[in-house]
Amino acid sequence: MQKKSTLTPILDFGGFPPAILTSGTRDLFLSLTVLTHRKLRRAGVEADLQVFEGMSHAQYNFDAYAPETKEVFSEIARFFDKHLGK
C-alpha cells in the first residue's frame, strides 16, 4: 500500500507543463514549495524555483511598487515569455 501524502495531495506530476514556483525565506509554505519543486523535477517536469530573501507568503502582492515585487514579476514574465514563445 502506497503511503498517502498529506502535504502534497498530487502523487503523480508526470505530464505536467513547465512550472514556476515562487516563495520567500519567510514563507510558511517554503518547505512545501521546495518539496513540490523536487517532485516536479523527479517526474521530468521542467520547473523553476524562485526564493526571495525576507519575503513572506505572497508578500509580492501587497506592494506593487516594492523592488522585490518588480523582481518577482520580472522573473515570472521571463518564464512565460520563454515557454509561450515570445
Tens-digit pLDDT string for the chain (86 aa): 555 555 555 678 889 999 999 999 999 999 999 999 999 999 999 999 999 998 888 888 888 888 888 999 999 999 999 999 86
- The pTM of this model reads 0.80
pLDDT value at position 68?
Answer: 85
Q: How far apart are CA 36 and CA 52, in angstroms?
A: 17
pLDDT value at position 63?
Answer: 83
Round to the nearest angstrom and report the end-to-end CA distance of the chain: 45
As to burial, measured by CB atoms within 10 angstroms (0-12 exposed, 13-18 middle, 19+ buried), residue 55 is buried
